[in-house]
Amino acid sequence: MRMIQKLKLFEQTVVFLRWATAAEFGKILYVGEDFVEFLALNPETMEYGDKILINSQLILEVMVSGYEISRILAELSVNATDSSDTGSSLF
């Protein structure tokens, strides 16, 4: 199975993604045949920032579980419950 096909299983999921020029935590928004649409997450503020289109051939590493991902998800959950009064959602 090609990596791009496997990444389709993780659309709308928070991951750690490393590609040729950078590495970020964020959410995979869409996986196309030749690119991945990625929404970067600032781990200090727990806010989504830049939307990045990455050539799928440049992706080096994808982490979908582990300690750091669990920590990020826990912090997003805390922020989501704090902002539930305003109606905004981080997920």
15 pairs with which residues across the strands? 26
- Tens place of pLDDT per residue across the chain (91 aa): 688 889 999 999 999 999 999 999 999 999 998 999 999 998 888 889 999 999 999 999 999 888 888 888 888 888 777 665 555 555 5
The CATH number given to 3-82 is 2.30.30.100
pLDDT attached to residue 83: 61
Tokens of 38: 């990625």
pLDDT attached to residue 69: 86
pLDDT attached to residue 72: 86
pLDDT attached to residue 74: 87
Q: What is the CA radius of gyration of the chain?
A: 13
pLDDT attached to residue 81: 72
- As a whole number of angstroms, the distance between CA 13 and CA 30 comes to 10
Give the start-end residues of each E strand in the chain. Answer: 14-19, 22-31, 35-42, 47-55, 59-63
